[in-house]
Amino acid sequence: MTMDWYWKSASEISAAVRSGVVSASDITEAQLRRIDEVDGRIDAYTQRWDDTARAMAAKVDKKASRGEALGPLAGVPVGLKELLCTRVGKTTCASKMLEHFRSPYDATVVKRLEAADAVFLGKVNMDEFAMGSSTENSAIKVTRNPWNLKCVPGGSSGGSAAAVSAGECAISLGSDTGGSIRQPACLCGCVGIKPTYGRVSRYGLVAFASSLDQIGPLTRTVEDAALTLNVICGRDEMDATSADLPVPDFTGALTGDVRGLRIGLPKEYFTEALSEPMRERIEQAVDAYRANGAEIVEVSLPCSEYAIAVYYIICTAEASANLARFDGVRYGFRHPEAKTMQDMYVMSKSAAFGPEVRRRIMLGTYVLSSGYYDAYYLKAQKVRALIKKDFDAAFEKCDVIAGPTSPTASFEFGAKSDNPLEMYLSDIYTISVNLATLPGISIPCGLTDAGLPVGMQLMARPFEEELLLKTAHFYEQNRGFDMGRPPIA
């Protein structure tokens, strides 16, 4: 068996396993050797599930030997973000607060992946409780960008993006509250899609901000993203917010051309805030669409300038409420020196939550407090509605909106960690998609002169993932260059 299966796409691996070209066990062994080889430098994995992976692969091979039909992700190696509940291993959210927590159940997406015959390699790193844009906030370890080990992989799904980029899994699940799938996908040179809010069940996802969170895949190709969505999307009776809509065959949408497609460029996204290397690569990508018959139109999203402020009021308010449950009573860290109830709450949370999590809890508690609710939280919700209205108006003029995923390429460790506001601005182009409950995808569109990946973001109307994937896939197949592999290869 060749030793490069870890660079193959999920679609290629699944097809090979289902046709008997290679066994799921051989794929798994090659993948585990790859992790042994490079993860000491990347540090994407927080938990290695070697025995579980081998057992899952053996189960797939046994099904094949009996002549049973295999699932669409047969033998495909998958990494899971640390905030997805699993009965195997721990669910820590990369926080000291949950460092020993073991979930009694599997998240819905985890069960659906297992039913599709995927193989779980373990869990991957993230910013603590998904709060961050660089994975520097993890209480477990620092994950590095495979394209430059001095640079961050993005966040909060930095471990997910780095693992896919470095060949340490074919698919990784992440979560996206304000860009936490798309921004690390951009910085690590892979594909990352945030589905429409409600398209994927959130049951078993440890909540950060419940009206914004959404689970999605990070992959090497758009086809792999579509294949994964086929498996994880759909109504779930365990999640009242999951949409009761049929799941289309997303892979079947990856056909045709873009002639006549109207692609909108928001004038607010192409300002001095966008670095020149990012602007150049995005414009080249847009030119590729234009050359293939797409119509490029200018649109306006005038309330975009308020998105950061609105997001950091709403998400912190919801985080304050969601993280109140981690009190050391039923589960979570309890400070051993606490003598009273007040001591237990204050000392446990102060010791177990990191600085960024404490910052957001305090901000969220403040904006929800008596006398400030109307001035901050209620007003933010009203502006959120205006942001959604901007997108509705823009989509009257276009079918898909294109723009940058991130204002800059990856940056070195420590470059923004001492300046929270500058770090928050890393998500300036992704946040609005969550506020407006839209689907969004980041796809690689080149490298900077320094050899760091650039990502283009595409956005569509709610539940138009098929159009989004078709548009992204067309560019991927017609961009005229290969992204290559990171130096870690």
Residues designated catalytic: 81, 156, 180
**Closest to 228 (Cα-Cα) out of 465, 69, 45:** 465
Helices (H), 265-372: 276-291, 307-322, 341-352, 355-368
Quick count: other Cβ atoms within 10 Å of Cβ 60? 26
Contact 190, 161 (CB under 8 A): yes
Instruction: Write the Ramachandran bin of 167: left for phi over 0, alpha for psi from -120 to 50, otherwise beta.
Output: left
Helix and strand element counts for the chain (H, E): 15, 11
Map tokens 């929800």 to a residue: 368
Round to whole Å and give the CA distance between 157 and 179: 9
Quick count: other Cβ atoms within 10 Å of Cβ 421? 9
Round to whole Å and give the CA distance between 356 and 343: 22
Quick count: other Cβ atoms within 10 Å of Cβ 463? 19
Q: What are the φ/ψ torsions at residue 346 (nearest 5 degrees)? A: -70, -50
Q: Which helix (H) or strand (E) holds 231?
A: helix 222-232
Q: Which helix (H) or strand (E) holds 471?
A: helix 465-478
Burial of residue 341, with CB atoms counted within 10 A of its CB: 0-12 exposed, 13-18 middle, 19 or more buried: exposed
**Closest to 42 (Cα-Cα) out of 187, 170, 141:** 141
Round to whole Å and give the CA distance between 13 and 37: 20
**Closest to 307 (Cα-Cα) out of 388, 242, 415, 366:** 388
